[in-house]
Structure 1
Amino acid sequence: MKLSRFILSHMDEILGEWESFARSLSIPGILLPVAELQDHARQMLQAIAVDMETIESDQQKKEKSIAEVSRISGEESAAATHGSLRQISGFTMPQVTAEFRAMRASVLRLWMDKSTRASKANTEEILRFNEAIDQALQQSAIRFSDQSNRTRDTFLAILGHDLRSPLATMTMAGAFLVRPTIDQANTVQIGARVARSAATMTTMVNDLLEYARSQLGGAIPIRPVLADIVDICRTALEDASAAHPDCVFQLETDGESIGDYDSARLAQVFSNLLNNAAQYKGEKHPVTISASGNADATIVQVKNYGPEIPRALLAAIFDPLVQLSVATDQKGPASTSLGLGLFIAREITRSHGGTIDVESSTESGTIFTVRLPRAAIHGIAK
């Protein structure tokens, strides 16, 4: 059987091996759905089979082998889209190239197992297949790189934009404070604005530092000691209130609250969740943070009744540099828009041996749930 026809007739078997390999490459602790693991693989294989069936002259073969990168990168193909989506999903470039290497090996191995003998035609089929795989890989790699550059540029643009606003507020405050005629009431008002701007900038800088740490050294280090989760929640609520003075926050507690926690780190987790909730909140309901515990674990939930988050976005919401669109009718001020807050929250939670999940619906609102063991992961007594 010709290799191109074999690919089409054994598509499910090939995709099964592709999925298994992609799952071994995916981000630890994140279970990607089958549809995402097999992302565009079927379309890529179909395109490869069609390419192999296309009759080419010697001149066309030569031109194809030396095609410029600019021409290949401009092609809209399943492979190009695959590269872009893999970058968004958190895969690395070596992982993407490894996927194509695995696809090449799987197809050839399965085909040769069913091939009765070697021939010149088989050799030509392999050459055409390798050529098509290499072109798909190049398209995917180029689009992956383009997406990475676009994400970086967007990140830098947002950083500059979001820092400019609080800095402008503080600059104007300084100009008012040096006036000899300023009264006490205006001083208090200006001081409150400076405090809010400082809180916003502090959140952004902390997120940047933790993101850099996670990229350089893996898990975020923690120093757990006996602490009260309720006190940690109150600290986070105070920080969020300073950044969002117009948002109503509520704290609810129940059950055991003492455990082995890194208070500063967890305050950052809950502060990031509260800032996110305040940014996307609805107008009729407060943002709530609730803490409940038993002998083994503590559960902290942050809830708001803003717009429902689409299911497609929930899978990537904790990835770095992912940003949700704010509805035009929302009144809440934007906190840090860097797309790092939820990523940092996940990494700190993992360092505590815990988990963080999100669910969203119009009826129940958006709920972030943090589950933490009350005993430190390195064995400190409760």
Structure 2
Amino acid sequence: MAKSLQRDDKRLLQFRKLTEVSRALTYAVSLEEVLRLTVERAAELLETDKAVLMLTNEQGLLSVRAAFGLSKEATERFREPLDETLIHRLQGLLGANPECFLGVPLVVGGQVTGILAVSLLQPVSSNEEQEWLLSALADQAAVALEKTRLDETAEFRERLIGIVSHDLRGPISAILLGSTALLRREELSERDSKTVVRIQSAAERANRMIRDLLDYTQARLGGGIRVESRPMDLHAVVRQVVEEMAMARPERRIEVYQEGDVHGNWDVDRLAQVVGNLISNALHYSPEGTPVRVATVGDAREATLTIHNLGPPIPAQQQSKIFEPMQRASADMNPENRSVGLGLYIVRHLVKAHGGTIEVKSLENEGTTFTVRLPRQAPPLS
């Protein structure tokens, strides 16, 4: 009876430790941390002094990525194929006889991606409890390793986007300056002028894409887009943006309604970007011949910006996704209007940086309305 209670107490302690391991692996932020935690906790759970974690490389060879109780010299040389003779070689690496060796695979998506092995101080027990513990730990480690791999791959991709986008600004700016200078020449023929205008238009579109990509990487990796607030009049910013967009799209009608006091402490340039992105979106998704209505209204607490268009409704299941990166309300293959799909994502982050909110309402026969609410005082810079 006493032995049974002791066994139950030991099993309960093991379960607690396994739960702690799961929590630690969940919060691990790097591949190295997951690897280190796995071998350390394997040694602790199995009460052993030697543990090793191996992962397969691109050539299909196993190499030691983390070890406990083994010298660096011994593990550095270990490069072995995943075959039927591997167990014998692992026993040699760990200095374990067959009765004291225990190894389990790490499996991701049905594929063996590594092996977690230990050298036990006592022969493997017949109740398979030790193997179950190691297998449970290996399963948790496999999930954590795949998560960190995906996280690091995504972060690398996003940092690369930011670097490339930043470096592209110089050449694009040179193209814009050059095309502007060419358009001032009186000797240009009509055909040449049209060609330069197309070059300038393409460069401006590329410049907008680059700005969106830089804002995207800042929002994703830089802890949010920073704003520099100062006193401003939202009415005036909206009128300026509308005038600029009306010149660029003379065939479309943009109606403006303004009421109340909308002075506040905000970032002028960033709110102009919000207004411009939302108007551009409204023009893009509404039919020719229909107006886009822009309204700014102020009360004692906040300023409200609404932008309405009479385009087809956004499907209900899509409305919760349009503020995510690379999402669009509808498929659009027109190369003249194509973007990187970040406009509304950036708008949401800019509004959030001002302490505000944005929502969308889209119904059949009523059109689509984006509503931005801004508190009078933006949050302080962190």
Structure 2 length-normalised TM: 0.54
The residue number in structure 2 matching 1:222 is 227
Match of 1:370 among 369, 372, 377: 372
Alpha-carbon separation, structure 1, partners of 2:162 and 2:312: 24
Structure exhibiting the larger radius of gyration computed from Cα positions: 2
In 2 relative to 1, CA 229–142 (structure 1 residues): closer, same or farther, beyond 3 Å? same
**Shift in Å, 1:231:** 1.0
User: Is residue 239–residue 271 contact of structure 1 (8 Å, CA) maintained in 2?
Assistant: no
Match of 2:111 among 51, 63, 72: 72
In 2 relative to 1, CA 362–137 (structure 1 residues): closer, same or farther, beyond 3 Å? farther
The residue number in structure 2 matching 1:361 is 363
Superposed, 1:241-320 pairs within 5 Å as 241-283=246-288, 285-320=290-325
Letter in 1 for 2:324: D
The residue number in structure 2 matching 1:334 is 337
The residue number in structure 1 matching 2:127 is 120
Alpha-carbon separation, structure 1, partners of 2:331 and 2:163: 19
Q: Which stretch shows the higher mean deviation, 195-204 or 139-148?
A: 139-148
User: Is residue 306–residue 365 contact of structure 1 (8 Å, CA) maintained in 2?
Assistant: yes
Instruction: Flag the structure with higher strand content.
Output: 2
Letter in 1 for 2:256: L
Residue 180 in structure 1 maps to residue 219 in structure 2: no
Q: Which stretch shows the higher mean deviation, 343-352 or 306-315?
A: 306-315
The residue number in structure 2 matching 1:129 is 136
Letter in 1 for 2:212: D
Letter in 2 for 1:279: H
The residue number in structure 1 matching 2:100 is none
The residue number in structure 2 matching 1:104 is none
Alpha-carbon separation, structure 2, partners of 1:355 and 1:310: 21
SS in 1 for 2:278: helix
Percentage of identical aligned residues: 27
Deviations 1:64-88 (A, max 9, x none): 95689897399xxxxxxxxxxxxxx
SS in 1 for 2:133: helix
Alpha-carbon separation, structure 2, partners of 1:139 and 1:216: 20
**Shift in Å, 1:226:** 2.7
Letter in 1 for 2:209: M
SS in 2 for 1:120: coil
**Shift in Å, 1:241:** 3.4
**Shift in Å, 1:371:** 0.5
In 2 relative to 1, CA 119–372 (structure 1 residues): closer, same or farther, beyond 3 Å? farther
Instruction: Flag the structure with higher helix content.
Output: 1
**Shift in Å, 1:210:** 2.9
Letter in 2 for 1:334: N
Alpha-carbon separation, structure 2, partners of 1:359 and 1:205: 29
User: Is residue 272–residue 341 contact of structure 1 (8 Å, CA) maintained in 2?
Assistant: yes
**Shift in Å, 1:354:** 0.9
User: Is residue 159–residue 217 contact of structure 2 (8 Å, CA) maintained in 1?
Assistant: no
The residue number in structure 2 matching 1:344 is 346
User: Is residue 263–residue 376 contact of structure 2 (8 Å, CA) maintained in 1?
Assistant: yes
Q: Which stretch shows the higher mean deviation, 248-257 or 198-207?
A: 198-207
In 2 relative to 1, CA 302–175 (structure 1 residues): closer, same or farther, beyond 3 Å? same
**Shift in Å, 1:141:** 5.9
Alpha-carbon separation, structure 2, partners of 1:225 and 1:121: 68
Alpha-carbon separation, structure 2, partners of 1:150 and 1:121: 43
Letter in 2 for 1:234: R
Instruction: Provide structure 1 residue ranges, at least 5 long, that are not aligned to the other structure.
Output: 1-13, 26-58, 75-117
In 2 relative to 1, CA 374–67 (structure 1 residues): closer, same or farther, beyond 3 Å? closer
Alpha-carbon separation, structure 2, partners of 1:154 and 1:247: 34
User: Is residue 256–residue 292 contact of structure 1 (8 Å, CA) maintained in 2?
Assistant: yes
**Shift in Å, 1:356:** 1.5
The count of corresponding residues between Structure 1 and Structure 2 is: 279
In 2 relative to 1, CA 153–262 (structure 1 residues): closer, same or farther, beyond 3 Å? closer
